[in-house]
Structure 1
Amino acid sequence: MSNPQVRKISAINDELDIKLFFYISKKNIIFPIIFVIIAITGAWLYLRYTPPVYQTSSIIQLGSQAQATRILPTASIYDDDLAKQIELMRSSVFLQRALSRLPLDVTYYSKGRVLNFELYRNAPFTVDAVVKDPSLYGVPIYLDFVSQDNIVLSFTNKGQQKKREVYVNGRNNLPEMDIVIDIHNFNIIREQQSVFSRNSYFFILNNPETIASAYSRDIRINVLNSAAKTIQISYQGTNAQKASDIVNIIAEEFSIYDLEKKAESANNILEFIDDQLDLLFEKLSDSEIELEEFKKEHGIDEVTLTPLPTLQGRIADFENQIVMLQMEKSIFSEIEQSLVDEEDDVDIYRLIAILAGSEFRGNISSMLSTLQEQLLERERLLYQVTPESRQIESLNYQIDIQKRILVESINTLKRNLGNRIDDLTAKIESYERYLFNQTGRYSLIEFSMLQRVHSINERFYNQLVEKKAEYSISKAGYVSQSVILERSRTPGRPISPNPRSIYASSLLAAIFLGIGVFLLKYLFYNEIPSLYDILKYTHAPVIGVIPKYKSEIPPNQLLVLKKPKSLISEALRAIRTNLQFIDNEPGSKLVAVTSTISGEGKTFFAMNLAGILAFSDKKVIVIDFDMRKPKIHLGFNVDNVKGVSTILSNIDPIDDCIQPSKVKNLDFITAGPVPPNPSELILTPRMDEMMEYLKSKYDYVIIDNPPVGIVTDGMKSILMSDYPIYIFKANYSKRMFIQNVNRLISESHIKKLSVVLNAVDKEYSSYGYDKGYSYGYYYGGYGAGYGYYDDQYAIVKKSFWKRLLNIGK
């Protein structure tokens, strides 16, 4: 049979071998079992010590109606932009107002065996406190109810443990705070204190200024349907009742707050108009007085005032345009002043309201909306980071840029308005000069100019009066139609942690981790599992495969004597037969057995091969050449006082060191005392003399050599042997050891070197991975297939867990 092509030995498994994978998986099944136990235990501990989180939600529909438009055709001054209303709902000002209606200034807790429980609206006592020392905010304050009338408070303030005795139902003036504690149900308190002897209750005083920021992190506002203007308000918290109250109070309060905010916008517009009216009233009075005085001084009466109707109509039209442009310019001046004065708290809603009816409302409003989004984003970030953080500095820079862009845009619009006013004024002056040329009287022209100024102020005043009336009607007619479509109910189950998903994910993680271990074990499995691996990496002939001995090998390693019909005995008989195909010349044969490292079974093989050869009426002797770590004397249960070392040292004659065994025709020589120079002794001529003498007396001389991968003591006997045999142990010897075989063949020219695979696991072969080679594999095709093996020694009764975990060999 031809061997496969020799491959280069890789550090990892470079080909897919399903059967090897299953074999390794079975050998390492303990890992996924441990992982599953750890995962289930970890999941249970997580569920046990993680507080539950509840989610509540409420749905509202935003809307408003200007009832004034049903009576008078007035334009609405209110902006119903859905995005702006949502941002208003998210603002800290609104949240602070809404949450102030809930009892959130004091948080009450009750001790549990594992977790503490919040007693929202359910505490057997209430606390009313005025904090004097702000460092007391957020500090747990424990209560020891000494009696129904006395309580001892204990807390840590500024690193110091403090205790304060207070009285119930009365104001207690303490250095840190003024506090009143009322007890509602002392029986519940007594029962709780029977479980926890002291400090079974505690409370935390919350800073009113930071309550909104603390809860806003868990509040979510999402648009459900932009066309219908429906939004969902949701909140997640560890107390179900509190979570439900928070979303309901936000939904209820927004309708009121929205109405007030829009009324405030209308008030700002009316206030602005009133200020302008006051200024114009003074100007109008002054211009009327100036006109009357001018008429008296120059003797101008109604008869002399006969201007050309067409020109005066044009002048009046120009004056109307100047009035409108001046109103636009005054609005922009007001906005510019607000942007400059209100650096950190720009009231965007007021500025947008002032822009109502302006010709340039769209452009400036979009810029103001962008500025509003940036200010709200900075406000949200300030809840999470400090004002000195890079995020805030970057946002401040963007806000400054946006303000400069706004101011520059407003200045540009004001300049354009001023240019248009100048053009209209120049046209009016041109028409007035024409009138002067027609009448020939300068006084009439001067009077016309005064009259024009008065007319402009009068028209401007009348225009503001009309606007004031329009905005007053719009304000009175605004009605909020925000509707709560779905109120939040107190949830009965938490959304997290979810036991089913936690256990499932933990179990899956454990399984995948176990599979990962299997894959790593497979990839880096560097041992020789089967005959096929040897055939892949060397051309050396394999003369046999010896099955694994399941029980513990006894001190007397001569198993073929105890179990002559076992699989091991038949495998050795097959090896005995296969040796004939290597060298079938007549005469005595020298068999040299070696391996790479200790523990691969070369001594076991040498002794039992000698026994099998002795059973065939051949005279056999086993020699222990492993003088550094001798074992033959242990296998035959004799002393190691003399042997190879004493023979080679010319201390004892050869015949005096030969000892008989219990097996007929089988003798042995022990290694003898450990010499200081084993390598030098083997190289002496005495070594050759001993081999020639023994070959003259025995049919087979079997030498148990030291491992060639560790020392070179056995190289001489291997070179002079007729049957050099290299032992590998399945699932123990490394694949890289096969290189030693190739090196001995190529460099040392040991052409007859053959290989035996020892301790092959039958469980591995049960997966079918023997590539057609049985334990009796050999060159001539003869196998051990008689079916009468005495293998009771291989049946080891194992417990259920040992069988499951594959513990025991």
Structure 2
Amino acid sequence: MVQNEDEIDLKVILFNYLQYWPIILVFMFAGFVSAFLFNRYATSIYKVESSILVADDKPSLGTDLFESSGLGMLQGKNNIENEIGILKSYSLAEQTVSELNLNVQYFQKGFLSTTQLYGNVPVLVTVDWKQSQLIGGMFKVEVIDEKSFYLTVEEEGFSVYNPSDKFFKSKFKGILGLKSVYSFGDTVSGESFSFKIDQINVLPGDEIFFKVLDTQTLALKYGGDLSVAPINKQASILNLSLETPVRRLGQDYINKLMEMYLQRELDEKNIASENTVQFINYQLSGITDSLRYSENRLQKYRTENRVFNLSEQGSVIFERLQELEKEKGQTEVTLNYYKTLQSYLANNQASDLVAPSVIGITDLLLNSLVQTLSELQAEQTRLKANFTEQTPAVRENASRVQNAKRALQENVNLAYQNTQSVLSDLNNRIRMIERDVNSLPQTERNLLGIQRQFAINENIYVYLLQKKAEAEITKASNMPKNSILDFAKSGQTPVAPKRSLNLLIGLILGMILPIGFITVKDFLNTKIEDPKELERQMKVPLIGMIGRNTSDDALPVFNNPRSSVTESFRSLRADLAYLSPQKNNLTLLFTSSISGEGKTFVSMNMASVFALMGKKTILIGLDLRKPRIAHDFGLVNDKGMSTCLSSNQPWKEVVKQSGYENLDVILSGPIPPNPAELLLQDRFRMIINEIKEEYDVVVFDCPPVGLVSETKELFGFADVNFYVFRQGYSMKANSQILNNLVEKGGVSKMYGVFNDLHIDKGYGYGYGYGYGYGYGNNSYGYHEEVQLPWWKRALRLKK
């Protein structure tokens, strides 16, 4: 089955990672164990939830006129977003924290975790917030006995709270002046702290930790942690939720927050009733003295003149006057109300408005306007407590307030004029009746006048008392329009840590970390590791792959003929029949980019496999700068090619026996001062031609072509040239040197050899790891090899 290159690359990547499967498994196990320990000792976080019903405002009679008028005064009364802003506001959170007294947090430490205590605490810390206080750090109380304790600092990081600037905290940089032992109930004080610790339920040896936090910091924290959202887009029910490690604390906080929210709404409603009572009290203060004076005067006149009742004619006149005077008094109260209303609007005191209906004004439109303006003013106050003046919601509501004021001002002015007309008519009618009074006797006329004044004051007084009682009843009966739907309750299952997810993340991180390290290592690796990658980079074929020589013997072909390394040389020898066919004599050249890539090892063993075949073979060391052949064969490098080229000594006199049949060696000889010039002589060409006539196989061990220049001149003497790369040693850029030799240098018959192959970068390419170049592990007894690991046998892909 033919596979495209992308599929093969994926397999190469996969099996590259599979080489490190023990490390990956260890990391995955470590990640799983870490996640398990985290789940075991992490503080459980619970979600506390409640809900509030935000009721819709019932429109007042006449408000439909303004809803359709385009003035924009009555839009958005039930603004869910505003209610959410109020619930999350700092001011409401501050009131809640103050009511619950959460400024001191108590803790108890276990073996690996710390638990916050709430409610039934063993000690009680009372902080003096009138002076500077240290906040944020952790104190430790170690009980000595029922009367005394050690007080130390457990955790630093204190800030200094300044009561004159509650929102600015400075870092504490001094040394905390604590004594060793304190008594319960005594004040613990210093330069920037003052608090008292009382014992409630402690035993000697108990350790309690506490932390002091100011109200402002806690309000900001709880306000940020609280989540408020409608249960859906259409509903006016708000869901409140708070995630906390202490379920009871979360429940108490949300319940108190909802209580303060409803109380705030109720207080705003009571403002109108309080303003009404205040207005009536002001009116009563003026009429009370007049009533007392007229009452005393009436009593005195009756006593002095012995006149107690009016005649029948006088009674009729008095009743008519009393009725008109009563109506006049109520009209004057109404007129005073309009004056007060005009004054409030002129002085921008709309928040102190009194409802017209409270003093008996039945104008539906006026009542609706006053109610609307009061609600808009209250809304503006709430918005300013949470948002800046430039916030769109604040600016929009301010525009509605101004529109409502203008409409109310016009209506009040018109009502004031109408009331003045009514009052003028009443005065005219009273003057007409007063003419009939002149027909009465003098004594009766005086009594009627005094009694008339008394009745006027009494009617007004009774009327005001009645309205005051009605206002107080209204205040007592006020209820918030919103209501608590569900009180706070905590879930039984913690929302954090997410145990299953953490275990999965631990496994994934345990897998990703080593894989990421391997990926980065391979990406930054400049050495050639993968034979397929080398094949893609070279412009010539990769003809042979030589495995790692696991023995210390430099000639495994002779000394370990059943090894896989020997078999790879045999395979390379077999391939030469296709590279240079129909040639009885064969000349091979081996070079590399730099020293250490194994060209000498490969050239010696290639010469050896031909010698084992019965071919008369000679190995010539042409690396005149750094010779190695003499050492590997156990010879003395006293004479060699440099000797022949620098003197007239015949080449046959420098040939040495290798110790193995059919294999002779010409060493490089002593290192000359001019190795490049020696190899470029015509004498070198004559010597090589004579050697080719004498031997069946000639093998050149040349110097690295990437380091010296003379090797380029030697390519023309060989039938086949081999460029040796070494796995994990040769640089990836070395392939470009080979490509330049072929493309620009005109070198022909050039092939690559990959030496020291020991890392399996892809299935079927590594030496001894499967089928590919050379024989693999499944040799069925033809040669010795290390047993393939079980996982590679299980996952091996067959061709």
Match of 2:635 among 634, 638, 649: 638
* Match runs of 1:754-793 below 5 Å: 754-759=751-756, 766-767=763-764, 774-775=772-773, 790-792=782-784
Counterpart of 1:749 (choices 740, 746, 749) is: 746
- The correspondence for 1:564, drawn from 555, 561, 564, is 561
Does structure 2 conserve the Cα–Cα contact (< 8 Å) formed by 1:610 and 1:621? yes
Deviation at 1:620, TM superposition (A): 1.0
Check if 1:246 corresponds to 2:238: no
Paired residue for 1:302? none
Q: How far does residue 613 in structure 1 lie from its aligned partner after superposition?
A: 1.4
Question: Deviation digits for residues 60-119 of structure 1, max 9, x if unmatched?
Answer: 5567999xx9xxxxxxxxx98776666555455554444445352433233444444333
Equivalent residue of 1:161, what SS? Answer: coil
Distance 2:8 2:777 in 1: 31
Q: Which amino acid is 2:199 matched to?
A: I
1:269-348 equivalence runs, <5 A: 269-272=276-279, 275=282, 331=341, 334=344, 337=347
Q: In the alignment, is residue 110 of structure 1 matched against residue 126 of structure 2?
A: no
Q: 1:447-469: per-residue Cα shift (whole Å, max 9, x none)?
A: xxxxxxxxxxxx99999999767
Which amino acid in structure 1 is aligned with residue 662 of structure 2? Answer: N
Q: Specify the alignment match of 2:509 in structure 1.
A: 509
Look up the match of 2:386: 377
Question: Whole-Å Cα distance in 2 between the matches of residues 482 and 418 of structure 1?
Answer: 32
Give the corresponding residue for 1:711. Answer: 708
Shift, 1:702, TM fit? 0.7
Instruction: Report the Cα distance in structure 2 between the residues aligned to 1:469 and 1:487, rounded to whole angstroms.
Output: 35
The equivalent of 1:161 in structure 2 is 176
| 1:619 to 1:260, Cα distance in 2 relative to 1, 3 A | same
Instruction: Write out per-residue CA displacement over residues 188-223 of structure 1, whole angstroms, 9 at most, x where no aligned residue.
Output: x42x3xxxxxxx333334445655444333333444
Q: Secondary structure at the match of 2:708?
A: coil
**Given residue 508 of structure 1, which amino acid in structure 2 is its aligned partner?**
I
CA gap of 1:740–1:163, structure 2 versus 1, over 3 A, is: closer
8 Å contact 1:328–1:358 — kept in the other structure?
no
Aligned to 1:9: none
Q: Which runs of 5+ in 2 are unaligned?
A: 62-76, 159-171, 292-326, 359-365, 426-458
TM-score w.r.t. structure 1 length? 0.68
Alignment map for 1:424-463 (pairs within 5 Å)? none
Is the Cα contact below 8 Å between 1:65 and 1:480 reproduced in 2? no
Contact 1:643 1:672 in 2 (8 A): yes
Moved more, 685-694 or 661-670: 685-694
Query: In the superposition, relative to structure 1, how do residues 653 and 243 fare at CA in structure 2: closer, same or farther (>3 Å)?
Result: farther
Q: Which runs of 5+ in 1 are unaligned?
A: 1-12, 70-78, 193-199, 285-315, 341-347, 379-393, 432-458, 777-782
**Which residue number corresponds to residue 545 of structure 1?**
544
Task: Report matched runs for 1:487-506 at 5 Å.
Answer: 487-488=487-488, 493-506=493-506
Identify the range of structure 1 (606-615 vs 783-792) with the bigger mean alpha-carbon deviation: 783-792
Counterpart position of 1:17: 9
Deviates more, 1:268-277 or 1:231-240: 268-277
Counterpart code for 1:548? G
1:765: Cα distance to partner?
6.9
Alpha carbons 1:24, 1:518 under 8 Å: kept: no
**Is 1:216 matched up with 2:213?**
no
For residues 370 and 480 of structure 1, what CA distance do their matches in structure 2 show?
15
**Preserved CA contact (<8 Å) 1:144 1:152:** yes
Task: For residue 251 of structure 1, report the CA deviation from its aligned partner.
Answer: 4.5
Larger relative contact order (Cα-Cα within 8 Å, sequence gap ≥ 6): 1
Corresponding position of 2:692: 695
Aligned-pair CA distance for 1:246: 2.2
Superposed CA RMSD in Å reads 5.5
Instruction: Select 2:118's aligned residue among 120, 126, 134.
Output: 120
Quote the residue 2:242 is aligned against: 235
Deviation at 1:603, TM superposition (A): 1.9
Tell me, yes or no, if the aligned pair for 1:352 and 1:368 is still in contact at 8 Å.
Answer: no
Q: 2: distance between equivalents of 1:243 and 1:605?
A: 77
Task: Quote how far apart the aligned CAs of 1:632 are.
Answer: 1.8
- Matched letter for residue 558 of structure 2: L
Cα distance per residue 1:699-738 (max 9 Å; x no partner): 2221111221232231222122222223344676566544
- How big is the shift at 1:593? 1.3
User: Does the 8 Å CA contact 2:143/2:202 hold for their aligned counterparts?
Assistant: no
CA contact (8 A) 1:642 1:652 kept: no
Matched residue, 1:266: 273
Structure 2 counterpart of 1:235, which letter? L
Cα separation, 2, equivalents of 1:651 and 1:147: 108
**Cα deviation 1:294-348 (Å, max 9, x = unaligned):** xxxxxxxxxxxxxxxxxxxxxx9xx99x9999967854753664579xxxxxxx7
Q: Percent identity?
A: 26
- Give, in angstroms, the shift of residue 667 of structure 1: 1.1
Q: Counterpart of 1:182? A: 198
Structure 1: distance between partners of 2:645 and 2:283: 128
SS at structure 2 position matched to 1:136: strand
Shift of the 719–408 alpha-carbon distance from structure 1 to 2, 3 Å rule, reads: same
Q: 1:657 to 1:91 in 2, by over 3 A?
A: same
Asked if 1:626 corresponds to 2:642, the answer is no
Shift, 1:182, TM fit: 3.4
- Residue-by-residue CA offset, 1:453-512 (whole Å, 9 max, x unaligned): xxxxxx999999997676555334445697765444566654222333222123223434
Contact 1:61–1:228 (CA under 8 A) maintained in structure 2: no
Q: Helix, strand or coil for the counterpart of 1:775?
A: coil
Cα distance in 1, alignment partners of residues 357 and 35 from structure 2: 60
**Deviating more after overlay: 98-107 vs 664-673:** 98-107
**Residue 645 of structure 2: aligned partner:** 648
Residues 787, 263 of structure 1: alpha-carbon distance in 2 compared, 3 angstrom cutoff:
closer
Aligned letter for 1:500? Answer: S
Asked if the contact 1:589/1:700 (under 8 Å) is kept, the reply is: yes
How many aligned positions are there? Answer: 685
Deviation at 1:739, TM superposition (A): 3.9
What is the rounded CA distance, in whole Å, between the counterparts of 1:256 and 1:218 in structure 2?
22
Find 1:57's aligned residue among 37, 46, 49: 49
Alignment counterpart, residue 665 of structure 1, candidates 654, 659, 662: 662
Which of 707, 718, 734 in structure 2 is aligned with 1:721? Answer: 718
User: Is the 1:706–1:714 Cα contact (8 Å) retained in structure 2?
Assistant: yes
Identify the range of structure 1 (29-38 vs 718-727) with the bigger mean alpha-carbon deviation.
Answer: 29-38
Cα separation, 1, equivalents of 2:231 and 2:82: 15
Q: Match of 1:623, SS?
A: strand
Q: CA offset at residue 610 of structure 1? A: 0.9
Which one-letter code corresponds to 1:121 in the other structure?
G
Q: Which residue of 2 aligns with 1:779?
A: none
Deviates more, 1:116-125 or 1:79-88: 79-88
Task: Give the distance between the partners of 1:232 and 1:367, measured in 2 at CA.
Answer: 25
CA distance in structure 2 between the aligned counterparts of 1:486 and 1:214, rounded to whole angstroms: 24
Structure 1 equivalent of residue 301 of structure 2: none
Which one is further off, 663-672 or 109-118?
A: 109-118
SS at match of 1:671: coil
> What per-residue deviation string (whole Å, max 9, x for no partner) do you get for residues 420-448 of structure 1?
5799799999x9xxxxxxxxxxxxxxxxx
| Alpha-carbon distance between aligned partners in 2 of 1:721 and 1:87, rounded to the nearest angstrom | 89
Q: Match of 2:676, SS?
A: helix
User: For residues 336 and 612 of structure 1, what CA distance do their matches in structure 2 show?
Assistant: 116
Q: Deviations over 1:557-584 (max 9, x none)?
A: 2222234355544543444344344445
2:557 partner SS: helix
User: 1:24–1:521: 8 Å Cα contact kept in structure 2?
Assistant: no
Alignment correspondent of 2:434: none
Q: 1:179 to 1:531 in 2, by over 3 A?
A: closer
- Residue in 1 aligned with 2:454? none
In 1, Cα distance between equivalents of 2:379 and 2:263: 26
2: CA distance, partners of 1:547 / 1:173: 82
Give 1:126's aligned amino acid: L
**Where does residue 391 of structure 1 map in the other structure?**
none
**SS of residue matched to 1:603:** helix
